[in-house]
Amino acid sequence: MAAPWARWCCVGEPLLNAERLVLGDCDGTWPHGPRSVGAVSNGEPVPLGPPVVLVLLRNIPSLRAKRTMAQATNIHAQRWSILLFGLGSTTVMQAQSLAQQDLLPTIGASWHMRALQSVPSDELPIEPITWPYSGLVGNDLFGASYSVLDPEQVPGNNAFPSADRALRSVPDNDPLPTHTFYDVQSNECLELGSLGPVLSTAFLQPALVSAYPLEMGTPVSGDFCYSSRSVGGVLDYCGTARVSLEAIGTLELNFGVFPNAQLMTTRRAFAVVQNGSDSTIQVTKDWYVAGTPYPLLHISTLTTPDGSVTRSGQILDETSVVGLAEVSRVNSLPVFPNPTTGIVTMAEAGNGTVEVSGVDGRLLSTQRINSTSGNAVVDLSALPEGLYRIVLRDGVTVRSAKVVVAR
């Protein structure tokens, strides 16, 4: 299919610390035409400096992403970690890590993420670390549902013979799914490609998604190359990815407080091979807690070659929260009638706080209930026709229901 593959080498500074990534001239072969290549350094990271020059080395036999561990002796990696992460305790750094079961859902797992109405500012954490994000709200318009499948269940899986896991994502506003294929190994997870209704990708050198155990202060990096196919044609990209356990602290969300949340940061820098453009840099931050192998909070920052920055995020739907100590059970909330003209009865409500929000995530009302009979009433008469979300919290249980107001 494609020519022998290659990995990136950088001249000047570590690619992952660079603001720009510039392609050198190469004399290599790509799936869609020849390239030219300039001089090659030894590929070792050197201190921060001018833009990175990338070159392509041919005839690398393995298509696996080459992993490089940032050792404690690498003063530049240490400085970058300390400045960005605000870590102060060497003991904590050595003791904390993310294992495979913390990061990778098993086949059959499913969850829903709601799109953030607003994305919090990206601030440096200060010890003791607390992320005060209890005011973040999500909506059901631009979120997505996710499920992990056996690749054999997905049409077209023969394009990724080494895949042993597939992630199905379905946007809330579009019924057409995208399937992303992964190779889960004993020490890392690699992205192999994806099949979607508009865009499909194929990694000729797989991309590092996660590594485990992922130790605090020890980032892991790997190179990748892939082809992207859409209605506009085919483009080739190459770059590098870096994953790191960035910080541990207390994560405050609207459905719970999680004192030992672990923040994993993934940084990908990649460029179009055909035109030698500057790099696109994507930084994603995911907060994990023990017992839930998908993020409670996900924030992405995309910086394009022209300098424009786009930030987006998702928050875990509280009805997907399973295995958290702060929430012992999560159930649906029985309500009737549904649809309703205004008055809704919640069955077996008990005591707690009732929140009513729109599908855009805006909190419309909050009230305390203390029901001795078991049932409780919520009055939606003042709201216009539409779809609403009712959430009942009693400090242990989170129950929710979607209610249609129709007159």
Tokens of 332: 């649906």
Flag whether pLDDT at 355 surpasses 80. yes
Which percentage of the chain shows pLDDT scores above 90? 41
Q: Give the per-residue pLDDT at 293.
A: 85
User: How far is the C-alpha of 203 from the C-alpha of 174, rounded, in Å?
Assistant: 25
Q: Give the per-residue pLDDT at 359.
A: 64
**Antiparallel, parallel or unpaired: β 52-57 and 21-23:** parallel
* pTM for the structure as a whole: 0.63
Interval 86-132: pLDDT, tens: 222 222 333 378 888 888 888 988 888 999 989 998 776 677 888 98
Return the exposure string of 277-307: e unless at least 16 CB atoms fall within 10 Å of the residue's CB, then b: bbbbbbbbbbbbbbebbbbbbbbbbebeeee
DSSP 118-160: SPPP-----SSPEEE-TT--EEEEEEEEEEEE-GGGSTTGGG-
| CATH 2.60.40.3080 fits domain 329-405 | yes
Q: 97 Cβ partners below 8 Å, 6+ apart?
A: 212, 213, 214, 215, 216, 245
Q: Where along the chain do its domains lie?
A: 61-320, 329-405
Interval 210-257: pLDDT, tens: 999 999 989 999 999 999 999 889 999 999 999 999 999 989 888 888
Confidence grade of residue 186 (pLDDT, cut at 50, 70, 90) = very high
Return the exposure string of 381-402: e unless at least 16 CB atoms fall within 10 Å of the residue's CB, then b: eeeeeeebbbbbbeeeebbbbe
Q: What is the mean pLDDT of the chain?
A: 75
Among candidate residues 166, 18, 5, 4, the one with its CA nearest the CA of residue 80: 18
Flag whether pLDDT at 81 surpasses 60. no
DSSP state, residue 67: P
Residue type, 91: T
| Strand partners of residue 39 | none
Query: If you average pLDDT over residues 253-275, what whole number do you get?
Result: 90
Flag whether pLDDT at 198 surpasses 80. yes
User: How far is the C-alpha of 145 from the C-alpha of 362, rounded, in Å?
Assistant: 20
